[in-house]
């Protein structure tokens, strides 16, 4: 069915022989056969991603600049004859088998690996299935994206689950049909992952589904989701290095606290600039656009809006400034924050967002014009300093690893992903790559070179 290969649709293709007979796929299918005493009907592959620049700005409406990785999640899937979802993982010692009742999918804290499967399954059923009886599935999973590394293993799992669910309903009931539109399923997966409790943006799901081999993506979210291929410069390599500290962003309040602080900063900006049409909870992108102030000037404007003598604002400060009571403050801005919070760094968070958004624009422009790798490296270094000092989402181990990377020849290096642990991404001249790789391996949990990979694909096995 050649129409399934159009750029707008997720590819559904017969699995190539070289992939079918690869050691990893053969192990996964054997695991499936041993566990379920049957054969899987199809295989889903969804990549992880590295965000080259543009950290913590997708959920406030700004563009980001990621690329997909060769590391991925793969699932072998078929419909079963029970009312349950049966999950098994190739890494059985770390991720035990689990049976899920699709009529009672709970999302408890801290999240477990299978909760991300639940997100994708529930998202598809809620959106498309109109009260139809749930389908039982047999699923064998394997991932090469290190968990808690900031390389989006969780979103890859959510997306893979959504594709598995759609294909299962298609095969069993014809209720859902293929082809699967990339933009539609990306939007669904963005919303579905929020079942886990994290107010994440849409970068991870967008690059996982929309990526094309050989190109990074410049991804915009407003006024609508779009993704443009951008060629990366020649003469340099991108390296990903793990600092040795892992952090599950959904298991802490750090991430949602930053989201809340950005929304509160937007509210204060809107109040001080008397922006008409602002609604409580709107994003920083909204107030910047409504103010018609260029990104390059927002830093100076923030100094006029916020009290530079205040490192942080209290709840009582914000109640007074915004003219709302504390109950409304909690309901609109803090309902998704799992731990009590009484002080808010608004100027710092807003300054990071606006300056980081400007860096993303410049990074894309440099790649498409002069490809000045030294300027690209400077932008990455500026991004890391901003994440460390203004957004406070770094970690001493990340900072130390960035220092090592720069000392071993990287032009630029920065944390990637949510932060608070995980990985850095470094821009390294080709002529220094061998030494860089050798030296960084001494300080990293893992260190690898990566170019842009392809996005999600569904392989038919028979």
Q: Which CATH number goes with the domain that contains 144?
A: 3.30.230.10
On whether residue 171 sits in a domain, the answer given is yes
On whether residue 145 sits in a domain, the answer given is yes
On whether residue 391 sits in a domain, the answer given is no
Q: Please tell me what DSSP assigns to residue 374.
A: H
Region class of 46: left (phi > 0), else alpha (psi between -120 and 50), else beta: beta
Bridge-based pairing of strands 313-314 and 343-344 is: antiparallel
Helix, strand, coil share of the chain (percent; to 5): 45, 20, 35
Active site residues: 204
- Looking at the structure of the chain, the number of domains it has is 1
Q: Which residues, in sequence order, are CB contacts of 40 under 8 Å at separation 6+?
A: 29, 32, 76, 77, 78, 138, 140, 461
On whether residue 141 sits in a domain, the answer given is yes
Give dist(CA 385, CA 415) in Å, integer: 9
Biggest CA-to-CA distance, the chain: 68
Read off φ and ψ for residue 452, nearest 5 degrees: -65, 130
Domain limits for position 13: 2-230+452-460
pLDDT tens digits, one per residue of 147-186: 889 999 999 999 999 999 999 988 877 667 678 899 999 9
pLDDT tens digits, one per residue of 370-394: 999 999 999 999 999 999 999 999 9
The answer to whether 338 touches 109, Cβ cutoff 8 Å, is yes
> Which ranges of the chain have pLDDT less than 70?
1-6, 174-175, 177, 249, 251
Give me the pLDDT at residue 130, please.
79
Give me the pLDDT at residue 1, please.
34
The answer to whether 142 touches 91, Cβ cutoff 8 Å, is yes
On whether residue 39 sits in a domain, the answer given is yes
pLDDT tens digits, one per residue of 33-85: 999 999 999 999 999 999 999 999 999 999 999 999 999 999 999 999 999 99
On whether residue 279 sits in a domain, the answer given is no
- Write down the pTM of the prediction: 0.94
On whether residue 52 sits in a domain, the answer given is yes
The answer to whether 458 touches 9, Cβ cutoff 8 Å, is no
The answer to whether 91 touches 34, Cβ cutoff 8 Å, is no
Q: Which of 188, 122, 160 is nearest to 42 (CA)?
A: 160
On whether residue 396 sits in a domain, the answer given is no
Angle formed at CA 144 by CA 394 and CA 425, multiple of 5 degrees:
35
Q: Kindly report each contact of residues 29-32 with a partner whose C-beta sits within 8 Å and lies 24 or more positions away, as own/partner.
A: 29/76, 29/140, 29/461, 31/76, 31/88, 31/90, 31/140, 31/142, 32/76, 32/88, 32/138, 32/140
Bridge-based pairing of strands 12-14 and 457-460 is: parallel
Q: Which residues, in sequence order, are CB contacts of 187 under 8 Å at separation 6+?
A: 202, 225
């Amino acid at each position: 069915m050649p129409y399934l290969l159009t750029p707008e649709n997720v590819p559904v293709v017969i699995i190539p022989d070289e992939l079918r007979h690869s050691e990893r796929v053969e192990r996964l299918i054997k695991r499936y056969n041993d566990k379920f005493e049957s054969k899987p009907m199809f295989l889903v592959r969804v990549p992880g991603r590295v965000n080259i620049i543009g950290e913590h700005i997708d959920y406030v409406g700004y563009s980001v600049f990621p690329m997909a990785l060769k590391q991925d999640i793969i699932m072998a899937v078929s419909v079963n004859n029970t009312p349950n979802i049966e999950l098994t993982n190739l890494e059985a010692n770390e991720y035990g088998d689990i049976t899920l009742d699709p009529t009672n999918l709970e999302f408890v804290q801290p999240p477990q690996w299978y909760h991300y499967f639940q997100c994708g399954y529930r998202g598809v059923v809620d959106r498309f299935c109109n009260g139809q009886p749930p389908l039982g599935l047999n699923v064998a999973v394997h991932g090469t994206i290190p968990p808690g590394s900031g390389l989006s293993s969780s979103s890859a799992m959510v997306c893979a689950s959504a594709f598995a669910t759609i294909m299962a309903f298609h095969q069993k009931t014809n209720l859902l049909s293929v082809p699967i539109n990339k933009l539609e399923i990306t939007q669904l997966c963005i919303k579905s992952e929020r079942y886990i409790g994290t107010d994440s943006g849409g970068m991870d799901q967008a690059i996982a589904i929309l990526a094309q081999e050989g190109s990074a993506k410049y991804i915009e979210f407003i006024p609508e989701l779009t993704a443009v291929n951008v060629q990366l410069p020649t003469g340099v390599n991108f390296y990903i290095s793990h600092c040795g500290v892992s952090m599950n962003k959904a298991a802490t309040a750090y991430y949602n606290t930053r989201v809340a602080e950005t929304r509160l900063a937007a509210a204060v900006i809107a109040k001080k600039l008397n922006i008409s049409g602002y609604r409580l909870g709107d994003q920083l992108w909204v107030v910047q656009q409504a103010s018609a102030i260029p990104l390059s000037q927002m830093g100076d404007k923030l100094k006029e809006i916020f009290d530079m003598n205040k490192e942080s604002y209290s709840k009582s400060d914000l109640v007074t400034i915004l003219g709302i009571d504390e109950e409304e403050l909690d309901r609109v801005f803090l309902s998704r924050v799992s731990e009590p919070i009484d002080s808010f760094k608004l100027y710092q968070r807003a300054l990071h967002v606006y300056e980081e958004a400007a860096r993303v624009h410049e990074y894309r422009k440099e790649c498409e014009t002069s490809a000045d790798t030294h300027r690209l490296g400077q932008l990455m270094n500026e991004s890391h300093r901003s994440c460390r000092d203004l957004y406070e989402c770094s970690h001493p181990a990340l900072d130390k690893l960035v220092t090592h990377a720069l000392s071993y020849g990287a032009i630029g290096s920065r944390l990637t992903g949510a932060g608070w642990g995980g990985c850095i991404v470094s821009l390294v001249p080709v002529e220094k790559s061998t030494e860089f790789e050798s030296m960084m391996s001494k300080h990293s949990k893992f260190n690898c070179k990566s170019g842009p990979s392809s996005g999600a694909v569904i392989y038919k096995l028979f």
